């Protein structure tokens, strides 16, 4: 059955999205030529900080906002050129799960209408069957059929998100775009929803585009991961490959900021800089900014005890430089570079060199299945693996415990 | 202020009866009850409702009991209020009480119909420019800005003077001169709600623009618009009063403003000719204002509280 | 820099608006019942046949509609608002003479109404559920609900009959013929009642708005931060909450200019204050359309100017809009 | 001991009259240490912070219990005395940096305001001290920052300004209510490190309020886990994270997806997370006994009726559970 699955079910080619800024002169380009494709029944994650354009990409794929350039095709059907009735005919095939449960349900509609409206719009089944189908959907997302007649404000946050998921499944879609589905929820409820999404994806055979700013959630939920920075897809790889050792300095910066194990954090900091002040004063995408209500920073599962907070000592720095020497690399000493118009858009890159400023890097596949937009991709991945190797070795553990 | 009702205890209570209410009746009375609960909380608006009810009853029943034609002369001019002419007579000798009773019908009906016109134009312009944005929005907003530049009363006066002071032209002129507030408010509401995810999900489910505007956004945009429309009724009554006061009212329909307008030069001699009709306008407009405050609380869907 | 560029854009926009008002006047003339020439001459103006012919040629009424519009616009833009046969003088000079009294009345009333309204609104927001605040809320509703002409007449009765300390009509005492400082004082005494009427109406609206915006800014995060910093309640109230609450009040002052003009017309009729309002009242009685349309055009211009001033004022107060150093 | 809270009860308004929002809360915070108060939304952690600062919203009030700051009982103080303590001996940093600063006042003036109110330094030196502080928290070109307005700052920079306002009168206690929730991952890490640096310089105690157990472990020496208004577990960070003694803490740690790096990332993703079923009971409907009773997998019979008392599970490590 698997070979009949379409290799590239959702293909996005050279997608550009720009918003006319209020002042009217320069419009803000949120997505700059992003391209990826997702095989059928697979889940791809898009990770990035707010303003990286991940939500804009999701909205463009859903044809909720107009992309200024690029092509999107789902199951072979070209979506970008469709408009009006033709587009509406295709809409049931791809649905969306939104982030903020408080604003994604119509406060004046009861649960039964919320679920039957999509069915009515795409003409699924007869009017009499729809209430029965709605009851079934509620059961599948773990809500009792007695809540059919309730209004959204009579549900808790987690239950409202279950209703949002049920609505997305009402038209039996093949592709589901989930824009930060769990970010607005508490830790315990978040886990319930992630489990629910996982089981529904397998039962319904859904292809999912999963948007999140949270690396732990993406590693748990996605088969493939794409990292976005200021509108550009800077790295794409299967989850195992990416998290074993990323190949782009920005991904490392994201990782080092999300890691809560103090020892590893200091080790990563010596190589890839101490996390970066995202100096973007203007807020490009206010909605993404507002979407960051309850972010979750995952922790690095370590074998040794989590040590309490202390500052770095000389011995650790020496150990790291020693191990790098054996692996034949010299320490790429972190230098913060100021500005730079063309060339690599990662302005605060600690490893930036002259060439980075002049040539425009391209997303290249330096290893099978692993693409990165950095000239030093292979080098960074190798050195990163070495540091992670060292950090998880028991010797390093005692050292951090002692320090 | 209500805490989120916890669904789990609803499951325990057997509410099969609730889920069988799929027809409309359960919903309509449910909403009316909910509306009254919210409305009741604000004492000022209840007083307003009673006051308005009294004024309306006075206007409808009044002329039936006190059958006196406000236009025919009943006694000497400027007779002060006494037992047979409760509110005295005006500069020609017509009975003020009859005038006040039958004048109300003109003032309130003009106020109501003008507010309807204002709401109709305002809603259409506001919803179109708020929902579609782009050049439609700029064009409609330029038109709104143009109308807003003209002083309301002056523009209404010019229209009535040119097209003749009949009951219809007065109502239409008031409507034309004061629809801009509702338009701006509707546009703001539509632009705000358009960004909400439940509208985006309706688009994703394949809803057409018309359905989005009418079924998805409008019901949620109504509360503030209804409050503004209530204010427009009182604004229209005041405007009609001013027009009739300046002699631009419909001459053969008695209205409160007309009485005051005709007797304004003799106010110092015959205070009663001016005080009572004015008080009638004041009370009816005050009752509508008080009620519109109450409407605001009653119509807003319950907001759950966050600690 | 940005501030002046924006001002230029506003000016351009306003000129467009004025042209639109002129075209509106043209449409009104042509859509009125009867022959446009008579409309222009004004029914009661005792217009003879020659005058009608002269109007017909001057406004090119026989020419195609489009050229008529151009002629009309060029004339109005050139300052010639037409001729009032009843008053036997050009409309523009008639109106210009009547503007100062109306401006005096409106500016004085608007300013004092704003001050009184904001003070009342701020006081009532200090203790939102106390008796004085309910009183102020009721006063502001009553102030809005009372029709302007009725308030005017009531004040006239009160001050005319019971304690006649203020004159009830006209702008200055013709008999006494004061001049210099005495004349100013006399005008002020005459101004008292008409402006008091307008103040009662507008102070109500200012107090409602400033109360609502004060309550809103008192519940914001930055007021909570101010309290967390240990500032005393007076400073939190006046420095942090009030400055932000005044923004919408400034915008409202600008938008209030149009309706205020309407109110002034009525008040001038009640107290026969010799301003535009009085002129409007007389020209209605005599169906003197050129004067009416001229007044509509001039008052639209005044409203536009008021909007430009408020917009500039708003840009000065709010740093976010002023386009600070990027 | 900078902050000592004993058996604190706070009641808040609800449709059926006042309801207990925080029940018998005990906290101990010695100088120059950081205590993280961790709990899901609606468990009363923000209300606790506001009650210490004396900024409880209308309708909430402290019904019993004592709050001692530097040995002085705050609940006995008058309004003005409490106000004088705010900003001087205790300061607070809020969650939403975008709205926490006054948009129409320059950043500099909002800082000097604190310096002058608490007479930290004479007016003439206030400006220089503020500029020095701005530079100290890592803002480039402090002079320009001093006279610019909040809308020209990014979220991270505004939170640094909040830190300056908090420490400029060098208080004994700094309460940070979810200081990093509204920020990006990279900026979060920097703000937490900035707080640690400020603590090491000023020796102030930090009460960190957060919903995220793992983010707290970067900064906190001790953790107190709160659930539906009562303390479930409290202890040193390492002990609580590695050997959680309360089923709720175990549930929380199990339910959060952990980041696996290096060789661990290659061994495949676990199918499901150990999620806790059900949801947080709102204040009106909490069970009589242990608040976690309705969702606890190992609930005993007597957990339902009587409330478990804190039992010692290790050095300074207690958990309120009968197990």
Kindly give the confidence (pLDDT) of every residue in chain B, 307 residues in length, as a single tens digit, with 9 standing for 90 and above: 233 333 333 333 333 333 333 444 455 566 677 777 777 777 878 888 899 899 888 888 887 887 777 787 878 888 888 877 777 888 888 888 888 888 888 888 898 999 999 999 999 999 999 999 889 999 999 999 999 888 889 899 888 888 888 889 999 999 999 899 899 999 999 999 998 999 999 999 988 889 999 999 998 898 888 888 888 899 999 999 999 998 888 888 888 888 888 888 888 888 888 888 899 999 999 998 888 877 776 776 554 333 2
Rounded to whole angstroms, how far apart are CA atoms B293 and B284?
15
Subunit contact A167:B201, Cβ cutoff 8 A: yes
**Number of residues in chain C:** 326
**Do the Cβ atoms of A287 and A104 come closer than 8 Å?**
no
Examine the domain organization and report whether B12 and B161 are in the same domain.
Answer: no
Report the pLDDT value the prediction gives residue A21, as an integer from 0 to 100: 66
The verdict on B47 and B35 lying in the same domain is no
DSSP H helices, chain D, are 45-53, 79-85, 97-100, 107-117, 123-136, 142-146, 155-167, 185-202, 213-219, 237-242, 247-255
pLDDT of A251 above 50: yes
In whole angstroms, give the CA distance from residue D267 to residue A240.
8
- Looking at CA atoms only, how far is residue C244 from chain D in angstroms? 7
pLDDT at res. C40 = 67
Distances (CA, A) of B19 to A110, A120, A358, B27: 11, 20, 67, 11
Write out the residue range of the structural domain in which residue B200 sits: 42-299
8 A C-beta contact, residue A30 and residue A48: no
On the question of pLDDT at A46 being above 50, the answer is: yes
Q: Which of A104-113, A339-348, C160-169, D31-40 has the lowest mean pLDDT?
A: A339-348
D-facing residues of C in 231-260 (CB < 8 A) are 231-233, 235, 239-240, 243-244, 247
Measuring CA to CA, which residue among C8, C26, C42 is closest to residue C74? C26
Provide the domain limits for residue A41: 3-243
Residues A29 and A136 in one domain: yes
How many CB atoms are located within 10 Å of the residue A196 CB? 20
- Within an 8 Å CB–CB cutoff, is residue D87 touching chain C? yes
Separation of alpha carbons D70 and D55, rounded Å? 19
Residue B306 counted as domain residue? no
- pLDDT of A277 strictly over 70: no
Query: Taking phi first (over 0 means left), then psi (-120 to 50 degrees means alpha), and beta for anything else, what does residue B134 get?
Result: left
ipTM: 0.83
Kindly tell me the sign of the dihedral angle through the C-alpha atoms of A80, A81, A83, A85. Answer: negative
Q: Are residues B83 and B192 in the same domain?
A: yes
Contact of D118 with chain C, judged by CB distance below 8 Å, is answered with yes
Chains with 3+ CB–CB pairs under 8 A to B are A, C, D
Q: Do B30 and B99 share a domain, yes or no?
A: no
Mean pLDDT along residues A124-136: 88
Pairing of β D173-177 and β D205-210: parallel
Please write the tens of the pLDDT for every residue from A194-208: 999 999 999 999 999
Instruction: Kindly give, in sequence order, each residue whose CB lies less than 8 Å from that of residue A269, ignoring residues fewer than 6 positions away.
Output: A256, A275, A312
User: Residue C145: which of B278, B42, B173 has the closest Cα?
Assistant: B278
Same domain as A293, residue A222: no
One domain, residues A167 and A218: yes
What per-residue confidence (pLDDT) applies to A402?
60
B204 and B104 share a domain?
yes
Q: Where is the domain boundary, A228, A243, A258?
A: A243
The three-class DSSP label of residue A46 is strand
* Chain A nearest-CA residue for D191: A277
What's the pLDDT at A373? 84
| Structure confidence by residue, pLDDT tens digits, C254-281 | 888 888 888 888 999 888 888 888 888 8
> Is residue A225 within 8 Å of residue A42, measured between CB atoms?
no
Class of the domain covering C96-322? mainly alpha
CA atoms of B70 and D258, how far apart (whole Å): 86
At A84 the pLDDT is 84
Is residue B307, in this structure, part of any structural domain at all?
no
Return the pLDDT at A318: 54
Q: Contact at 8 Å (CB) between B74 and B89? A: yes
Cβ distance D46 to B9 less than 8 Å, yes or no, reads no
Indicate yes or no: CB of B282 within 8 angstroms of CB of C147.
yes
Q: What is the pLDDT of residues A171-224, one digit of tens each?
A: 999 999 999 998 888 888 888 999 999 999 999 999 999 999 888 899 988 999
Chain B residues lying within 8 Å of A92, measured CB to CB: 205-206
Residues A220 and A258 placed together within one structural domain of the fold: no
pLDDT by residue (tens digit) across D188-203? 888 888 898 899 888 8
Among the ranges given (A39-48, C76-85, C195-204), the one the predictor scored with the smallest mean pLDDT: C76-85
**pLDDT of C45:** 53
Average pLDDT score over chain D: 88
Q: Give the count of alpha carbons within 13 A of A382, CB side only.
A: 16
List Cβ neighbours of C219 (8 Å cut-off, separation of 6 or more): none
Give the orientation angle of helix B218-245 with respect to helix B272-299, to 10 degrees: 170
Tell me, what DSSP letter sits at residue C40?
H
Dihedral of CA atoms D80, D86, D90, D93 in degrees, nearest 10, equals: 150
Task: Inspect the interface and report whether the beta carbons of B307 and D284 lie closer than 8 Å.
Answer: no
Mean pLDDT of chain C: 83
- Cβ of B307 within 8 Å of Cβ of D13? The answer is no
**B33 shares contact with chain A (CB less than 8 Å):** no
- Measured between CB atoms, which of B11, B200, B211 is closest to A64? B200
Residues B73 and B18 in one domain: no
What's the number of domains chain B is made of?
Answer: 2
What is d(CA B147, CA D258) in angstroms, rounded to the nearest whole number? 61
Kindly state whether residue B305 falls inside one of the protein's structural domains.
no
Q: How far apart are CA A257 and CA A272, in angstroms?
A: 11
Angle at A87 between CA A84 and CA A91, to 5 degrees: 130
Confidence (pLDDT) at A303 = 25
Of A187, A130, A185, A127, which Cα lies nearest the Cα of A155? A185
Q: Is the pLDDT of residue D277 over 50?
A: yes
Contact between D23 and D227 (Cβ < 8 Å): no
- Contact list in B for residue C157 (CB cut-off 8 A) is 267-268, 271, 274-275
Locate C305 and state its tokens: 């100017």
The pLDDT tens digits for C103-135 are 999 999 999 999 999 999 988 888 878 888 888
Which of helix, strand or coil describes residue A371? strand
Count how many pairs of residues, chain B against chain D, have C-beta atoms within 8 Å: 24
Same domain assignment for residues A259 and A159:
no
Mutate which: C262, C294, C307, vs B, most B CBs within 10 A: C262
CATH number at residue A10: 3.40.50.300
How high is the pLDDT of residue A393?
77
Residue D41 has pLDDT above 70, yes or no: yes
Same domain membership, residue A376 and residue A284: yes
Q: Do B87 and B194 fall into the same domain?
A: yes
CB A42 within 8 A of CB A222: no
The enclosing H or E element of A16 equals strand A10-19
What is the reported pLDDT for B281? 92
Flag if A121 and B203 touch (Cβ within 8 Å).
Answer: no
Q: Which residues is A326 bridged to in the sheet?
A: none
The C-alpha atoms of residue B288 and residue B297 are separated, in whole angstroms, by: 15
pLDDT digits (tens, 9 = 90+) for A69-117: 899 999 888 888 888 888 988 999 999 999 888 889 998 889 999 999 9
Task: Provide residues of A within 8 Å CB-CB of chain B.
Answer: 59, 62, 64, 88-89, 91-92, 94-96, 98-100, 103-108, 112, 117-118, 121-122, 131, 143-151, 153-156, 159, 164, 167-168, 170-171, 287
**CB–CB of D151 and C319 under 8 A?**
yes
Contact predicate C140/B290, CB 8 Å: no
Task: Answer whether residue A147 shows pLDDT above 60.
Answer: yes
CA within 13 Å, CB half, B96: 31
pLDDT of A297 strictly over 80: no
Q: Judge whether B167 lies within some domain.
A: yes
The more confident residue out of A309 and C164 is C164
Cβ <8 Å between A92 and B206? yes
Q: pLDDT for C236-259, tens place per residue?
A: 998 999 989 988 888 888 888 888
pTM of the model: 0.84
**Domain parsing of chain C, residue ranges:** 2-77, 96-322
Q: In this structure, are residues A30 and A58 in contact, taking their beta carbons and an 8 Å threshold?
A: no
With left for phi above 0 and alpha for psi between -120 and 50, is residue A164 left, alpha or beta? Answer: alpha
Domain count, chain A: 2
Would you say residue A282 has pLDDT above 50?
no
| Boundary-marking domain end, from A226, A243, A260 | A243
Task: Output the pLDDT for position A337.
Answer: 31
Preferred mutation among C230, C237, C316 to probe D, highest tally of D CBs within 10 A: C230
Per-residue pLDDT tens digits for D112-167 = 999 999 998 899 999 999 999 999 888 888 999 999 999 888 888 999 999 999 99
* Mean pLDDT for all residues in chain A: 76
**Residue A249 confidence class, pLDDT cut points 50, 70, 90:** confident
Sign of CA dihedral B241, B243, B246, B247: negative
Q: Indicate if B153 and B92 belong to the same structural domain.
A: yes
Residues B224 and B255 in one domain: yes
Helix axes D155-167, D107-117, angle to 10 degrees: 10
Report the distance separating Cα A247 and Cα C143, nearest Å.
71
């Amino acid at each position: 059955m698997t070979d009949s699955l379409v290799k590239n079910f959702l293909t996005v080619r050279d997608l550009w999205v720009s918003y006319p800024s209020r002042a009217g002169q320069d419009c803000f380009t949120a997505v700059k030529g992003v391209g990826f494709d997702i095989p059928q029944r697979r889940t791809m994650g898009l990770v990035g900080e707010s303003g990286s354009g991940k939500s804009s990409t999701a909205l463009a794929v859903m044809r909720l906002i107009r992309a200024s350039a690029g092509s999107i095709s789902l199951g072979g059907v070209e979506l970008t050129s469709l408009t009006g009735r033709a587009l509406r005919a295709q809409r049931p095939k791809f649905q969306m799960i939104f982030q903020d449960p408080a604003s994604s349900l119509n406060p004046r509609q009861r649960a039964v209408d919320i679920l039957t409206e999509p069915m009515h719009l795409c003409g699924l089944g007869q009017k009499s069957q729809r209430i029965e189908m709605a009851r079934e959907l509620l059961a599948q997302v773990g809500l009792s059929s007695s809540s059919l007649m309730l209004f959204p404000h009579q549900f808790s946050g987690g239950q409202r998100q279950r209703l949002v998921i049920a609505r997305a499944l009402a038209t039996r879609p093949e592709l589901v775009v989930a824009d930060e589905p769990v970010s607005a929820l508490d830790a315990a409820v978040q886990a319930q929803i992630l489990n629910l999404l996982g089981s529904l994806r397998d039962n319904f055979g859904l292809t999912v585009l999963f948007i999140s700013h949270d690396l732990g959630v993406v590693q748990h939920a996605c088969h493939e991961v794409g990292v976005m920075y200021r509108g550009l897809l800077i790295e794409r790889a299967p989850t195992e490959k990416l998290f074993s050792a990323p190949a782009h300095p920005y991904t490392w910066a994201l990782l080092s900021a999300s890691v809560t194990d103090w020892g590893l954090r200091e080790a990563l900091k010596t190589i890839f800089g101490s996390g970066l002040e995202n100096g973007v004063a203007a807020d490009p995408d206010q909605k993404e900014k507002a979407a960051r209500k309850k972010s979750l920073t995952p922790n690095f599962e370590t074998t040794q005890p989590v040590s309490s907070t202390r500052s770095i000592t000389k011995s650790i720095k020496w150990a790291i430089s020693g191990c790098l020497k054996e692996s034949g690399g010299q320490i790429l000493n972190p230098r913060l570079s100021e500005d730079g118009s063309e060339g690599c858009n990662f302005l605060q890159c600690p490893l930036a060199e002259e060439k980075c400023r002049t040539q425009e890097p391209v997303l290249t596949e330096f290893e099978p299945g692993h693409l990165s937009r950095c000239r030093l991709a292979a080098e960074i991945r190798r050195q990163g693996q070495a540091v992670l190797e060292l950090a998880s070795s028991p010797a390093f553990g005692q050292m951090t415990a002692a320090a | 202020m209500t805490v989120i009702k916890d669904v789990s205890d609803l499951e325990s209570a057997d509410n099969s009866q609730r889920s069988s209410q799929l027809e409309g009746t359960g919903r309509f009375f449910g909403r009316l009850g909910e509306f009254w609960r919210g409305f009741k909380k604000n004492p000022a608006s209840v007083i307003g409702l009673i006051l308005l009810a009294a004024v309306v009853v006075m206007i409808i029943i009044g002329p039936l009991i006190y059958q006196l034609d406000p236009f025919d002369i009943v006694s000497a001019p400027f007779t002060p209020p006494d037992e047979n002419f409760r509110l005295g007579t005006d500069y020609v000798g017509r009975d003020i009480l009859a005038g006040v009773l039958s004048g109300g019908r003109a003032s309130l009906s003009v106020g109501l119909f003008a507010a309807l016109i204002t709401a109709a134009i305002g809603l259409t312009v506001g919803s179109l420019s708020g929902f579609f944005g782009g050049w439609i929005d700029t064009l409609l907003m330029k038109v709104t800005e143009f109308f807003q530049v003209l002083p309301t009363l002056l523009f209404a006066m010019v229209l009535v003077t040119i097209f003749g002071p009949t009951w219809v032209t007065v109502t239409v002129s008031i409507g034309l001169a004061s629809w801009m507030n509702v338009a701006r408010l509707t546009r703001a509401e539509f632009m705000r709600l358009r960004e909400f995810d439940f509208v985006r999900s309706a688009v994703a489910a394949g809803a057409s623009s018309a359905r989005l505007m009418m079924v998805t956004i409008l019901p949620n945009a109504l509360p503030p618009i209804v409050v503004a429309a209530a204010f427009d009724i009182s604004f229209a009554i005041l405007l009609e009063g001013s027009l009739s006061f300046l002699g631009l009212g419909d001459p053969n329909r008695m209205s409160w403003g007309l009485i005051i307008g005709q007797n304004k030069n003799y106010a110092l001699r015959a205070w009663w000719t001016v005080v009572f009709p004015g008080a009638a306008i004041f009370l009816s407009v005050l009752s509508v204002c008080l009620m519109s405050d109450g409407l605001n609380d009653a119509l807003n869907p319950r907001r759950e509280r966050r600690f | 820099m940005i501030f002046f560029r924006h001002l230029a854009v506003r000016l351009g926009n306003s000129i467009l608006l004025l042209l639109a008002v002129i075209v509106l006047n043209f449409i009104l003339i042509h859509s009125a019942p009867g022959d446009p020439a008579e409309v222009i001459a004004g029914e009661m103006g005792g217009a003879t046949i020659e005058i009608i012919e002269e109007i017909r040629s001057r406004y090119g009424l026989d020419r195609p509609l489009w050229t008529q519009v151009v002629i009309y616009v060029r004339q109005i833009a050139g300052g010639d608002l037409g001729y009032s046969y009843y008053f036997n003088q050009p409309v523009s000079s008639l109106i210009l003479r009547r503007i100062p009294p109306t401006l005096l009345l409106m500016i004085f009333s608007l300013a004092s109404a704003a001050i009184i309204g904001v003070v009342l609104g701020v006081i009532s927001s200090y203790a939102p559920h106390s008796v004085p605040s309910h009183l102020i809320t009721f006063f502001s509703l009553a102030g809005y609900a009372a029709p302007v002409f009725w308030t005017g007449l009531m004040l006239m009765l009160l001050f005319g009959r019971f304690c006649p300390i203020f004159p009830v009509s006209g702008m200055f005492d013709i008999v006494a013929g004061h001049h210099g400082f005495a004349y100013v004082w006399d005008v002020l005494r005459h101004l008292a009642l008409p402006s008091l009427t307008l103040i009662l109406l507008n102070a109500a609206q200012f107090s409602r708005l400033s109360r609502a915006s004060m309550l809103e800014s008192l519940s914001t995060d930055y007021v909570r931060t101010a309290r967390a910093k240990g500032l005393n309640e007076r400073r939190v109230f006046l420095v942090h909450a009030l400055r932000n609450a005044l923004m919408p009040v400034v915008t409202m002052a600008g938008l209030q200019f149009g309706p205020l003009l309407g109110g002034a017309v009525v008040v001038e009729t009640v107290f026969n204050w010799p301003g535009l309002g009085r002129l409007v009242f007389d020209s209605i009685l005599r169906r003197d359309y050129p004067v009416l349309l001229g007044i509509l055009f001039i008052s639209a211009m005044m409203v536009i100017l008021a909007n430009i001033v408020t917009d500039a004022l708003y840009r000065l107060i709010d740093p976010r809009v002023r386009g600070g150093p990027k | 001991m900078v902050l000592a809270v004993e058996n604190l009860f706070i009641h808040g308004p609800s449709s059926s009259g006042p309801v207990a929002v925080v029940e018998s809360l005990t906290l101990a915070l010695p100088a120059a240490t950081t205590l993280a108060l961790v709990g899901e939304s609606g468990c009363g952690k923000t209300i606790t912070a506001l009650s210490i600062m004396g900024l409880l919203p209308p309708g909430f009030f402290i019904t019993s219990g004592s709050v001692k700051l530097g040995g002085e009982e705050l609940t006995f103080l008058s309004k003005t005395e409490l106000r004088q303590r705010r900003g001087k001996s205790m300061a607070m940093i809020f969650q939403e940096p975008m709205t926490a600063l006054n948009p129409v006042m320059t950043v500099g003036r909002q800082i000097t305001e604190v310096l002058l109110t608490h007479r930290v330094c004479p007016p003439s030196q206030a400006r220089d001290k503020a500029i020095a502080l701005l530079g100290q928290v890592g803002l480039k070109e402090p002079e320009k920052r001093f006279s610019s307005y909040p809308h020209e700052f990014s979220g991270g920079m505004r939170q640094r300004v909040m830190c300056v306002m908090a420490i400029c009168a060098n208080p004994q206690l700094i309460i940070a209510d979810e200081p990093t929730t509204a920020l990006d991952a990279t900026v979060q890490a920097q703000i937490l490190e900035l707080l640690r640096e400020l603590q090491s310089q000023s020796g102030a105690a930090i009460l960190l309020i957060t919903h995220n157990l793992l983010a707290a472990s970067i900064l906190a020496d001790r953790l107190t886990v709160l659930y539906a208004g009562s303390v479930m577990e409290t202890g040193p960070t390492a002990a609580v994270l590695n050997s959680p003694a309360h089923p709720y803490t175990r549930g929380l740690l199990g339910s959060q997806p952990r980041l696996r790096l290096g060789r661990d990332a290659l061994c495949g993703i676990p199918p499901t997370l150990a999620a806790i079923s059900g949801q947080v009971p709102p204040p009106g409907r909490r069970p009589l006994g242990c608040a976690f009773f309705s969702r606890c997998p190992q609930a005993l019979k007597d957990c339902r009726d009587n409330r478990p008392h804190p039992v010692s599970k290790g050095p300074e490590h207690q958990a309120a559970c009968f197990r």
